Structure 1
Amino acid sequence: MSFRERGVTMAKGDTTRLDEAATAIGVWQAGADLKDLRSACPFVHYGPLAEAHERGTAVETMWTIYRQTTATHVDHDLIEAAYAEPRLRALFPFHSHRSLNFSRCTGFPYTHDVPVITSVDGKYRVTWWKTRSPHGPADIGETENPHDAVALVLVHLPAGCGPAVAGTADDLDTSDSA
């Protein structure tokens, strides 16, 4: 079972008992928070990022996770350079295909209107999301260091790009057009 809210998988659980599954669904649909869901259904599990989404601190928590990770696909110099810039630190960071991405929302699908930074052979390539061009990623530029790559992203931030909000890109599209 997956328990989703505003584009985020908040919790998961496995059970072979129909009564337990029905209880979990009922508790979740009644608006229980994660702690109450877990209390009523011990087979349900969730992590710190789900708790952060519930508290409204997903952006800060995701930055902390990336800054503390030992994962080899994460370029720590790049993470620190991006984190040092308040306008990027206010966006939701995520990694995909060895690239550092930024979203104006905290749920999936994420926004695709902020440039992406990819570390390639010791350099930093800044591109638009592949969906911005029918032929794949559109290059913005390549730099020798992460600080210059962050500067390129900042120059190309969309107008009115403010802090990331809870929800999905679809939610933003709806509110942007209203």
Structure 2
Amino acid sequence: MTSPAPDLASLYPELGQEGTLQIVLQKAVHQAGYRFDVLPERAPGWKRSGARTDSDSRTTRTHLGIQDRYFLMSFWERGVTMAKGTTTSLNEAATATGVWQSGANLEDLRSACPFVSYGPLAEAHERGTAVETMWTIYRQTTASHVDHDLIESSYAHPRLRALFPFHSHMSLNFSRCTGFPYTHDVPVVTPVDGRYRVTWWKTRSPHGPADIGEADNPRDAVALVAAHLPPGCGPAVAGTANDLDKSDST
């Protein structure tokens, strides 16, 4: 049985019966003194209740709560969620959009909009130390899906230590950029039954991950990854895989 559509107009009188978040947030942003364009979210399901504001490197996304009144916001820069926040005030949402899209740093954003919060990794992205911080997080985590011997062996290799590590399920991945979408041209390591399977990312093969080889221990697996690094693979840079594609094409 299909659930009835939420009555957004009762939670958000600003919308009326036919209005959208994009329309009312655009008006509020302009009233706050900012001249940014507010666009509807791309996904069709968010046409009425989602909006975004984009610039070359920054995006602010806003979505409406459907059970209770709140504006759920996320603040992005170069493919990284830098901060999040929830407010019941349309005017506060408009101010936060304007402040972030105007280029404020994290501290100034939170100072202007106290409902916004962010963590140490976001601060590291802002400082330009995201790679080192991400390695520290993995080396210190107690998460069961992280193979600590594999992390330490990878960290001990200078060329891999310079890349941005991230986990997908049980697999350890390495990216040449620090923002999402990440690059997928560096081999992936997956612990399997006490051994270590090294593969290309699944997009390298229409049938799933393409095997490179297996190793009995993390050190040999890391050596196999290092032997298959792409040409010119240097330290990870700020931005996304799309940014790297654009720079490579020029």
TM range (shorter): over 0.9
Residue 176 (structure 1) aligned with residue 242 (structure 2): no
Q: CA deviation at 1:143?
A: 0.7
Match of residue 210 from structure 2: 138
Q: CA deviation at 1:16?
A: 1.3
Match of residue 47 from structure 1: 119
CA distance in 1, matches of 2:117, 2:198: 37
Pick the aligned partner of 2:149 from 77, 86, 98: 77
Q: CA deviation at 1:31?
A: 0.7
Given the two structures, how large is their TM-score scaled by the length of structure 2?
0.71
Which structure has the larger Rg? 2
SS at match of 2:87: coil
Match of residue 149 from structure 1: 221
Q: CA deviation at 1:168?
A: 0.2
Q: CA deviation at 1:77?
A: 0.1
Match of residue 27 from structure 1: 99
Pick the aligned partner of 1:4 from 47, 56, 76: 76
CA distance in 2, matches of 1:173, 1:113: 12
The CA RMSD over aligned residues, in Å, is 0.5
Q: CA deviation at 1:26?
A: 1.0
Which amino acid in 1 is paired with 2:231?
A
Q: CA deviation at 1:30?
A: 1.2
Which amino acid in 2 is paired with 1:43?
F
Match of residue 111 from structure 1: 183
1:108-149 CA-to-partner distances (Å, cap 9, x unmatched) read 000010000001111100000001101000010111100000
Match of residue 130 from structure 2: 58
Which amino acid in 2 is paired with 1:160?
G
Q: CA deviation at 1:87?
A: 0.1
1:56-113 CA-to-partner distances (Å, cap 9, x unmatched) read 0000000000000000000000000000000000000000011000000000000010
CA distance in 1, matches of 2:79, 2:103: 16
SS at match of 1:22: helix
Unaligned 5+ segments in structure 1 are none
Q: CA deviation at 1:177?
A: 1.0
Which amino acid in 1 is paired with 2:203?
T
Match of residue 54 from structure 2: none
Given the two structures, how large is their TM-score scaled by the length of structure 1?
0.99
Which amino acid in 1 is paired with 2:217?
N
